[in-house]
């Protein structure tokens, strides 16, 4: 993946966006069967997302966790702390800024997302840029619904349902913890941690 880049025929880029990610990691406590079932589901979610974040980059899985709350009680720190890029829109507390961007944001008070409370900063976020000290502000443009629909329609041919793609890939499939040597996509159900 890193040497030849993604391609639709050999090695596709898979983008997984988990919106409102905190809802999949909710902490359930109790002894009744339903609570135990939900707690087990949460543990599975955390394990699978951790694997995708840690190992997925090398095989073309880009995981984007989106949440209004990224503190350790909402997104497990063993997941949050291995996400290579953090980005934060306006925050009300220094603790929320640290949760989103790491403790280093405390050393850059002028860049803190706590300073983005003014309406002039709608669409502005703070992020760390690899290879640069400090933090950078970026502005995300407003895209009207009609433009978003037009762009989605014009680029729809670039997307494919991963399950359908996997069915169309010929050849042997196996998983030994690294990318398959025949460069085929391995179904998630056959992968072993």
CA distance 184 to 170: 8
> What's the whole-number mean pLDDT along residues 127-138?
88
CA distance 129 to 5: 22
> What's the whole-number mean pLDDT along residues 86-109?
92
The tokens for 138 are 């970026």
DSSP code of 17?
E
Q: 3-state SS of 131-183?
A: CCCCCEEEECCCCCHHHHHHHHHHHHHHCCCHHHHHHHCCCCCCCCCCCCCCC
Is the per-residue pLDDT at 170 higher than 70?
no
Q: Which among 183, 177, 181, 182 has a CA at the least distance from the CA of 191? A: 177
CA distance 87 to 125: 6
Q: Considering the chain, what percentage of its residues have pLDDT values greater than 70?
A: 83
Which ranges constitute the DSSP H helices of the chain? 33-55, 77-80, 94-101, 145-155, 162-168
Is the per-residue pLDDT at 5 higher than 60?
yes
The tokens for 136 are 């950078």
* Residue 188, pLDDT score: 41
* Residue 110, pLDDT score: 92
Q: Please provide residue 136's backbone torsions phi and psi, each rounded to the nearest 5 degrees.
A: -125, 140
* Residue 189, pLDDT score: 42
pTM of the model: 0.73
Please enumerate in sequence order all residues whose Cβ is within 8 A of that of 139, keeping only pairs 6 or more positions apart, or say none.
123, 124, 125
Sheet containing strand 136-139, strands side by side: 87-88, 124-127, 136-139
Q: Considering the chain, what percentage of its residues have pLDDT values greater than 90?
A: 55
* Residue 4, pLDDT score: 79
Is the per-residue pLDDT at 125 higher than 80?
yes
């Amino acid at each position: 993946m890193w040497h030849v880049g993604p391609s639709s025929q050999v090695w596709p880029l898979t983008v997984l966006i988990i919106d409102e990610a905190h809802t999949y990691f909710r902490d359930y406590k109790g002894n009744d069967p339903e609570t135990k079932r939900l707690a087990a589901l949460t543990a599975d979610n955390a394990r699978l997302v951790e694997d995708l974040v840690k190992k997925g980059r090398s095989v073309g899985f880009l995981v984007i966790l989106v949440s209004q709350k990224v503190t350790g009680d909402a997104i497990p720190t063993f997941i949050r702390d291995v996400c290579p890029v953090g980005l934060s829109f306006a925050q009300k507390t220094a603790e929320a800024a640290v949760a989103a961007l790491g403790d280093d944001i405390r050393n850059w008070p002028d860049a803190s997302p706590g300073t983005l409370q003014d309406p002039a900063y709608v669409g502005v976020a703070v992020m760390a840029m690899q290879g640069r000290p400090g933090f950078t502000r970026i502005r995300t443009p407003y895209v009207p619904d009609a433009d978003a629909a037009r762009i989605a329609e014009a680029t729809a041919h670039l997307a494919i349902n991963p399950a359908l793609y996997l069915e169309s890939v010929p050849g042997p499939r196996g998983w030994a913890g690294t990318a398959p040597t025949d460069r085929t996509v391995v179904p998630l159900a056959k992968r072993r941690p």
